[in-house]
Amino acid sequence: MNSDNAHADRRAQMEKETGRLEAFSDGVFAIAMTLLVLELKVPVLALVQSRGPDSRTLASALAHEWPSYLAFVTSFFTVLIMWVHHHALCRLVRRADAKLLFANGFLLLLVTFVPFPTAVVAEYLKTPAAPAACAFYSGVFVLIAVAFQLLLMAAFRKSVLDPNAPEARLRRFRKDYRLGPPLYLLATIAAPFSPALSMGICTALWIFWAVMPICIEPSA
Amino acid sequence: MNSDNAHADRRAQMEKETGRLEAFSDGVFAIAMTLLVLELKVPVLALVQSRGPDSRTLASALAHEWPSYLAFVTSFFTVLIMWVHHHALCRLVRRADAKLLFANGFLLLLVTFVPFPTAVVAEYLKTPAAPAACAFYSGVFVLIAVAFQLLLMAAFRKSVLDPNAPEARLRRFRKDYRLGPPLYLLATIAAPFSPALSMGICTALWIFWAVMPICIEPSA
Amino acid sequence: MNSDNAHADRRAQMEKETGRLEAFSDGVFAIAMTLLVLELKVPVLALVQSRGPDSRTLASALAHEWPSYLAFVTSFFTVLIMWVHHHALCRLVRRADAKLLFANGFLLLLVTFVPFPTAVVAEYLKTPAAPAACAFYSGVFVLIAVAFQLLLMAAFRKSVLDPNAPEARLRRFRKDYRLGPPLYLLATIAAPFSPALSMGICTALWIFWAVMPICIEPSA
Amino acid sequence: MNSDNAHADRRAQMEKETGRLEAFSDGVFAIAMTLLVLELKVPVLALVQSRGPDSRTLASALAHEWPSYLAFVTSFFTVLIMWVHHHALCRLVRRADAKLLFANGFLLLLVTFVPFPTAVVAEYLKTPAAPAACAFYSGVFVLIAVAFQLLLMAAFRKSVLDPNAPEARLRRFRKDYRLGPPLYLLATIAAPFSPALSMGICTALWIFWAVMPICIEPSA
């Protein structure tokens, strides 16, 4: 009985430790995703008619905000996918040490920042400043992809990794994520020539990671 | 003893998996509901008197914001009810796989979006643009009702469902939710003719789901 | 062994149920408290000197915002105390049923609303419109106190209460909370005559509840 | 078996108690950190050219916002480090009593406040009002450092401390944190003479705490 409780205590302690890191990270991911909506602006309609704005004007103003919706959806799903993978990553880890905490902190800093470039794209995608807006947006995601690499490096050390984590899974993780930094860099370089191509690469990337099966399916 | 711990470990693992999905979803629901308050604007009073705005002017300005309060309450309770049912739904599920994660993600995207149509209704309900504002608002809820259907479909598959989930309960869930998409669609179609009717249907729907007992009461 | 696991499963199930309600409520309390800061506005300084605003102007502008700080601190601690007591209340409850969920939902609606009257007080406390602002502020807390009463009524029913909850504690809870609605009503009625008295009553109330010991100390 | 379950029940009860305090605090930390992004403002570009703003103007406007980025990063990491240490501190505590709850509440009040001085620094760091902005910023962190001291005092009492908490660790905690109030005070006093020095001290402090190893590494 005594040894049973001791075992349970140790396990609970360990669970609690990475558990709180996960819960905190989840909070930041969830809030960053939800704050994106604050960048959507209610259209301010000029009172062209003396009796106030009419439905047609409002409908057209709402439709005109499509760059905001596009930026909102792209950022939302990119952060969501990142959360799903963060989730998968955390399940491979047993302990949180200083390196992991700070690699995670750096990623969270950038995730927290996402609503800002999103708002910049929403504001300027239809203007001649779109190249700078898209370069800024995908440039931030270059940094995020690098931060994810650093997190993988911090997590895949023997001292923090779950000894039962399947080697094939770690390899797959490393392989699929290696694509992030160069492809977001490509999106950044493409932005001055074609903002549409730049946003297209960003969209293609979250769809690619969304359908990447191995990291989501629990190990059999 | 060994087998006891193994059992506890497996159960803890499973709990943890859907547990984190629930916790994350809860975070998004809670934040989306709380952000609604940011759409309420402190009245800006013109300095008609030389000595600043008086109490009567402020009281009347606060009272004039009733469309904001109505939109706030409607959106708050609709999201709250959705959370309660999401909660009931999660209790029937044992595992989170990719399909469930993405069906859930699509629902969360739309939940996160709710403060925006809420702000549009708050701004335009008293203007001639009310039909477009209400059609936009209920149109978003059509999408949300469809997303909830997709989530039900993803959750009610044998591979993720708790084998002990009572069949009667699943049937009831399916039946009551089938009403969502057509009724919100009706609210959207009604909006150009009567914004009040449109908002009335939206209100009636959350009250209906609030009193729908089976999904809340724990299975006996 | 089998019966041990069954016991653990049942307990875990119950924990999970009220646990998710608590976690969700905590989220709403935490977000509502944190959003209060968004009502604090960075002073916009007129460029009186050609070389931009100087330190003295900024310092005096920041000091002039004292009604904002006062409203921020009052709302923060009032919601914090409410959270502490919500916490104490939840420990007495074993099960979450529909009544409890909706009484809780109504309280959360009002907690979520708090940043709005806080911003109204911050904006108008130094103007002749202070009576209306303070009446609005304390009026919202009348509703919150009533919602807390409803939550106590929903929680202190035999079907949801922990059978081991000490009767003396329930009595004390009921007694101390009975003061909320009439005293906030007094603050509302006092506001037209003296905004300072009204805010003073609101401050005195959270201090009174903060030092009310029985609800915080765990039952011996 | 009976005594086993009783043991598990007691432990779960205790876990739950400090667990909810931690979870709530985590929520506040996470939200305060994430709200910092809302202080970053999308540049509003004047339509100098008839065809709208161009990329060069946007890029230069984004680069001109460096004080905002600096303030964002400094505040983010300072709050993150504080969270890591709060985390380490909570692991040494077994029980939450009134004193601990309110010391924690006072710290959370100030953490919640951080986005406001951050926005003030972001707005005025490049203006002649920088001394006042930096004094305000570091002055808030003096208060936060004092609040952390109060929390340490509330946590390191026999009645709430884990009896197994290693004495060496508590001593180290006390020693390293003693530096906070005087050094932030120095930053506040330095601000009128050199805003850059003031911000430098604030940055040096979070880096110092970030590399302070003992509080992060779990006790061997």
Note whether C38 and A31 are within 8 A (CB).
no
Q: If pLDDT is split at 50, 70 and 90, which confidence band does B52 have?
A: low
Interchain CB distance below 8 Å, D53 and A1: no
pLDDT at residue D215, rounded to an integer: 47
CB contact set of D72 (below 8 Å; sequence gap of 6+): A113, D36, D37, D39, D40, D118, D122
Q: What is the mean pLDDT of residues A111-118?
A: 90
Interchain CB distance below 8 Å, A116 and D23: no
Q: How far apart are CA C70 and CA B208, in angstroms?
A: 41
Q: How far apart are CA D118 and CA B92, in angstroms?
A: 45
pLDDT at residue C44, rounded to an integer: 80
pLDDT at residue A43, rounded to an integer: 82
Residue C161 sits at φ, ψ, to 5 deg, of: -70, 145
Note whether D103 and D150 are within 8 A (CB).
yes
Q: Give the rounded distance of the alpha carbon of D215 from its chain centre.
A: 15
Q: How far apart are CA D111 and CA A102, in angstroms?
A: 20
Min Cα–Cα distance to chain C from B128, Å:
27
Q: If pLDDT is split at 50, 70 and 90, which confidence band does D17 have?
A: low
Structure tokens at B184: 């919100």
Burial class of D11 by CB neighbour count within 10 A (0 to 12, 13 to 18, 19+)? middle
The type of residue at B159 is S
CA distances from C53 to C49, C170, D66, D172 (A): 7, 57, 19, 44
Which of B120-124, B216-220, C17-21, D159-163 has the least mean pLDDT? B216-220
Q: How far apart are CA B139 and CA B22, in angstroms?
A: 26
pLDDT at residue D2, rounded to an integer: 47
Q: Which of C98, C62, C187, C176 is nearest to C136 (CA)?
A: C187
Interchain CB distance below 8 Å, C8 and D9: no
Q: Which residue has the tokens 């062209």?
A: A48
pLDDT at residue D46, rounded to an integer: 63
Question: A52: alpha, beta or left, given left = phi > 0 and alpha = psi -120 to 50?
Answer: left
Question: pLDDT higher for D107 or C92?
Answer: D107
pLDDT at residue D110, rounded to an integer: 92
Note whether B110 and B79 are within 8 A (CB).
no
Taking only the tens place, the pLDDT of each residue in B185-202 is 998 988 888 888 888 888
SS3 state of residue A75: helix
Which chains share 3+ C-beta pairs under 8 angstroms with D? A, C
Q: What is the mean pLDDT of residues D191-210?
A: 86
Min Cα–Cα distance to chain D from C12, Å:
10
Integer distance in angstroms from the first to the last C-alpha of chain C? 31
Q: If pLDDT is split at 50, 70 and 90, which confidence band does D218 have?
A: very low
Q: Which of B110, B117, B82 is nearest to A72 (CA)?
A: B110
pLDDT at residue D78, rounded to an integer: 87
| Strand partners for D161 | D93
Interchain CB distance below 8 Å, B112 and A73: no
Interchain CB distance below 8 Å, B72 and C8: no
Percentage of chain B modeled with pLDDT above 70: 85
Does the CB of A218 have a partner CB in chain D at under 8 Å?
Answer: no
Model confidence at B208: pLDDT above 60: yes
Q: How far apart are CA D118 and CA C79, in angstroms?
A: 24
Min Cα–Cα distance to chain A from D166, Å:
16
Q: Which of A9, A8, A26, A19 is nearest to A95 (CA)?
A: A19
pLDDT at residue B172, rounded to an integer: 76
Does the CB of C97 have a partner CB in chain B at under 8 Å?
Answer: yes
Q: How far apart are CA A171 and CA D68, in angstroms?
A: 39
Question: pLDDT higher for A179 or B211?
Answer: A179
Q: Which one of B80, B214, B219 makes the best mutation probe of the C interface by having the most chain C beta carbons within 10 Å?
A: B80
Q: If pLDDT is split at 50, 70 and 90, which confidence band does A207 have?
A: confident
pLDDT at residue A217, rounded to an integer: 45
Min Cα–Cα distance to chain A from B175, Å:
30
Interface of B with A in 12-51 (CB under 8 A): 12, 16-17, 20, 23-24, 27-28, 31-32, 35, 38
Q: How far apart are CA A91 and CA A84, in angstroms?
A: 11
Question: pLDDT higher for B79 or A94?
Answer: B79
Q: Which of D31, D58, D87 lies at the smallest CB-CB distance from A20?
A: D87
Q: How far apart are CA C61 and CA C47, in angstroms?
A: 13
Model confidence at A2: pLDDT above 60: no
Average pLDDT, chain B: 80
Taking only the tens place, the pLDDT of each residue in D64-75 is 888 888 888 889
The long-range contacts involving B158-167, CB below 8 angstroms and separated by at least 24 positions, are B159/B95, B159/B97, B160/B93, B160/B94, B160/B95, B160/B96, B160/B97, B160/B99, B160/B100, B161/B92, B161/B93, B161/B94, B162/B91, B162/B92, B162/B93, B162/B94, B163/B94, B165/B92, B166/B219
- Residues lower than pLDDT 50 in chain C: 1-3, 8-12, 214-220
Interchain CB distance below 8 Å, C4 and D1: yes
Interchain CB distance below 8 Å, B116 and A7: no
Q: Give the rounded distance of the alpha carbon of A35 from its chain centre.
A: 13
Model confidence at D4: pLDDT above 60: no
CB pairs under 8 A between B and C: 112
Model confidence at D50: pLDDT above 80: no
Min Cα–Cα distance to chain B from A205, Å:
16
Q: Where are the alpha helices (DSSP H) in chain D?
A: 2-35, 55-64, 66-90, 98-113, 115-124, 130-155, 167-177, 180-190, 195-211
Which of A7-11, C140-144, D119-123 has the least mean pLDDT? A7-11
Which chains share 3+ C-beta pairs under 8 angstroms with C? B, D
Model confidence at D5: pLDDT above 60: no
Q: How far apart are CA A75 and CA A122, in angstroms?
A: 11
Query: In the 8-state DSSP scheme, what is residue B218?
Result: P
Average pLDDT, chain A: 80
Note whether A90 and A117 are within 8 A (CB).
no
Q: How far apart are CA B9 and CA B2, in angstroms?
A: 11
pLDDT at residue A81, rounded to an integer: 84
Q: Which of B30, A77, A118 is nearest to D40 (CA)?
A: A118
Q: What is the mean pLDDT of residues B5-21?
A: 56
Q: How far apart are CA D25 and CA D33, in angstroms?
A: 12
Structure tokens at D68: 């905002």
Min Cα–Cα distance to chain C from B22, Å:
8
User: Hey, which of A57-61, B148-152, C19-23 has the most confident mean pLDDT?
Assistant: B148-152
Q: What is the mean pLDDT of residues D106-117?
A: 91
Does the CB of C66 have a partner CB in chain B at under 8 Å?
Answer: no
Q: If pLDDT is split at 50, 70 and 90, which confidence band does A100 have?
A: confident
Q: How far apart are CA C190 and CA C201, in angstroms?
A: 9
Interchain CB distance below 8 Å, A37 and B136: no
| Smallest CA–CA distance from C2 into chain D, residue | D1
Q: What does chain D come to in residues? A: 220
Percentage of chain D modeled with pLDDT above 70: 85
Angle separating helix axes C66-90 and C115-124, nearest 10 degrees = 160
Structure tokens at D209: 């705490």
Q: How far apart are CA A51 and CA A61, in angstroms?
A: 18
Q: Which of D124, D161, D109 is nearest to C73 (CA)?
A: D109
Q: If pLDDT is split at 50, 70 and 90, which confidence band does A216 have?
A: very low
Q: Which of C40, C51, C213 lies at the smallest CB-CB distance from D116?
A: C40
pLDDT at residue A144, rounded to an integer: 92
Residues of chain D in contact with residue A1, where contact means CB-CB under 8 angstroms, are 3-4
Residues of chain A in contact with residue D56, where contact means CB-CB under 8 angstroms, are 132
Taking only the tens place, the pLDDT of each residue in A156-201 is 887 778 777 777 777 777 777 788 888 899 989 888 888 888 888 8
Q: Which of A92, A41, A216 is nearest to B104 (CA)?
A: A216
CB atoms within 10 A of CB A158: 6
Q: What is the mean pLDDT of residues D21-32?
A: 85
Residues of chain D in contact with residue C8, where contact means CB-CB under 8 angstroms, are 5, 8
Which of A40-49, A66-75, D22-31 has the least mean pLDDT? A40-49
A210 sits in which H/E element: helix A195-211
Q: Which of C34, C54, C218 lies at the smallest CB-CB distance from D32?
A: C34
Structure tokens at D93: 């505590």
Min Cα–Cα distance to chain B from A147, Å:
22
Note whether D202 and D138 are within 8 A (CB).
yes
Q: If pLDDT is split at 50, 70 and 90, which confidence band does A214 have?
A: very low
pLDDT at residue D165, rounded to an integer: 74
Q: Please give the model's pTM, rounded to 2 decimal places.
A: 0.84
Question: pLDDT higher for C168 or A14?
Answer: C168
Q: If pLDDT is split at 50, 70 and 90, which confidence band does D92 have?
A: confident
Q: If pLDDT is split at 50, 70 and 90, which confidence band does B84 have?
A: confident
Which of A42-51, A118-127, B38-47 has the least mean pLDDT? A42-51
Structure tokens at B113: 């979006």
pLDDT at residue B215, rounded to an integer: 47
Q: Which of B97, B105, B129 lies at the smallest CB-CB distance from A80?
A: B105
Residues of chain A in contact with residue B4, where contact means CB-CB under 8 angstroms, are 4
pLDDT at residue C103, rounded to an integer: 87
Q: If pLDDT is split at 50, 70 and 90, which confidence band does B1 have?
A: very low
Q: How far apart are CA A3 and CA A19, in angstroms?
A: 23
Structure tokens at A4: 């049973």
Min Cα–Cα distance to chain C from B193, Å:
31
